[in-house]
Amino acid sequence: MVLRADRQGAAEHGHRITAAIACHVARAGGSIDQLTQLLMHPEHESGRHTRHIALRSGQVRALDYIRRVWASASDAISSTRALGSRHETYEVLAALRDRIGADGRIALGGRGVPYRFGSRTDRDGRTQLRTVEALTALLHTLFPAASKVPVAHPWCGVPGDWCATVNFDPGTGLGAAGGYVGSGLTTANLAGRTLTDLVLGEKTERTALPWVGRAVRRWEPEPLRWAGVQALYALYREADRREYRSQSGRTSIFAKAADLVSGR
Return the HEC string of 18-62: CHHHHHHHHHCCCCHHHHHHHHCCCCHHHHCCCCCCECCCCEEEC
**Within-domain flag for 112:** no
| pLDDT reported for residue 123 | 62
* Residue 37 domain-assigned (yes or no): no
Residue 228 resides in a domain = yes
- Is residue 238 in a domain? yes
Task: Report pLDDT for 74.
Answer: 31
Flag residues of the chain having pLDDT under 70.
1-104, 110-114, 116, 118-125, 157, 182
Tens digits of residue pLDDT in 245-261? 888 888 899 989 988 88
Q: Residue 7 carries which side chain, given as an amino acid letter?
A: R
Alpha carbon of 132 to those of 83, 105, 128, 138, 235: distances in Å?
29, 16, 7, 10, 21
Strands 88-90 and 99-100: unpaired
Residues 250/252/255/259 CA torsion (nearest 10 deg): 60
Q: For residue 245, what are the domain limits? A: 224-262
Instruction: Write out pLDDT tens, residues 106-139.
Output: 777 766 666 767 666 666 667 777 778 888 887 8
Residue 53 is predicted with a pLDDT of: 38
Q: Is residue 239 assigned to a domain? A: yes
Query: Is residue 120, in this structure, part of any structural domain at all?
Result: no
Cα–Cα nearest to 108, from 178, 42, 185: 185
Crossing angle of helices 129-142 and 67-78, rounded to 10°: 90
Has residue 74 been placed in a domain? no
CA R_g for the chain: 19
What is the count of structural domains for the chain?
A: 1
Is 124 inside any structural domain? no
**What's the predicted TM-score (pTM) here?**
0.51
With residue 175 as reference, give the H or E element that holds it: strand 174-178
Q: Which helix (H) or strand (E) holds 243?
A: helix 224-246
